[in-house]
Amino acid sequence: MKKEIGTATIEVNEEGFMTNFWQWSKNIGEELAKESSINLTPRHWQIIDYIQDEYRKEVPLSIRKIGKSGVVDIKQFYELFPKAPLKTATKIAGVPKPASCI
């Protein structure tokens, strides 16, 4: 389905994850963050960049992997993206929900 966000329109699935990564832009990322009540700081952006890099390399993401990445530890990851950090961070980054859960 489609979703209006700011002045743009994006394709999303029923959980609100973007289905076309190429439609993503920094502005859209900021709008998506607002929906999760998160104000993006440079620290948040480092993590979003990391997530998008891994996605481009087709590396499956998990909380464990992010904790070991050297970019952020798990505790801080939770502070930056409270409650369900991997879900929230991937949604803002415009990448599919991680399939680490089979």
Partner 1 sequence: MKNVVILGAGTAGTIMANHLHKKLNKDEWEISIIDEREKHYYQPGYLFLPFDIYEPEDIVKPIQKFIPKGVQFISQRIERIEAKENTVRLINRQFLHYDILVIATGAQTAPEEVQGMKGEEWHKSIFDFYTFEGALALRNKLREWQGGKLVVHITEMPIKCPVAPLEFAFLADSYFKHKKMRDKVEITYVTPLSGAFTKPKATAALDHLLSEKKIAIESDFAIAEVDNDNKKIIDYGGKEIPFDLLVTVPTNKGDDLMERSGLGDDLNYVPTNKGSLQSIAHKNIFVIGDATNIPASKAGSVAHFEAEILTENILRFINGQPLKEDFDGHANCFVETGNGKALLIDFNYTHEPVEGGFPFANFGPLKLLKESKANHLGKLAFRWVYWNMLLKATPIPFVPAKMKLAGKHFD
**Maximum Cα–Cα distance for the chain, whole Å?**
37
Binding site for partner 1 (CB under 8 A): 60, 62-65, 68, 74-75, 77-78, 82-84, 87, 99-102
**Residue 72: φ, ψ to 5°:** -160, 150
Q: How many CB atoms lie within 10 A of CB 21?
A: 13
Minimum distance from residue 27 beta carbon to partner 1 (Å): 27
Minimum distance from residue 101 beta carbon to partner 1 (Å): 4
- Under 8 Å between Cβ of 44 and 38: yes
Minimum distance from residue 100 beta carbon to partner 1 (Å): 5
Nearer to partner 1, 63 or 71 (CB): 63
